[in-house]
Amino acid sequence: MATILIQYQVQKFADWKKVYESMAEFRTSSGAIASVAYQDANDPNKITVVNKWNTLTNAQKFTQSLELKTAMEKAGVLGPPNISFLLEV
């Protein structure tokens, strides 16, 4: 099992959230087991998403997918996200 930690700034939280929710089926079909999103306590447009995946390979494929890139553009993500791939120890 693998985990992805993704952090980014968005233009408007409400717009981002609609797109994030619309991607639930794509995440699941790509191998995601769970997904949780957080807002920064001091900046509601600073987002952290934690996804658990069935394999590290599927997690990496997801982050490189055209679907994710398109969704991030549509959601108003500002700049490239900070993505960390994590393995439980």
pTM of the entire predicted model: 0.91
Q: Contact, 1 vs 50, CB < 8 A?
A: no
- On whether the CB atoms of residues 50 and 44 are closer than 8 A, the answer is no
Q: Which domains does the chain have, with CATH numbers?
A: 2-87 (3.30.70.100)
Q: What is the pLDDT along the chain (89 residues), one digit of tens a residue?
A: 999 999 999 999 999 999 999 999 999 999 999 999 999 999 999 999 999 999 999 999 999 999 999 999 999 999 999 999 999 88
Rounded Cα gap, residues 78 and 89, in angstroms:
32
Asked if 6 contacts 80 with a C-beta cutoff of 8 angstroms, the reply is: no
Check residue 34 and give its pLDDT. Answer: 97
Distance CA 7, CA 47 (A): 6
> What's the pLDDT score for residue 37?
97
Amino acid 88: pLDDT: 86
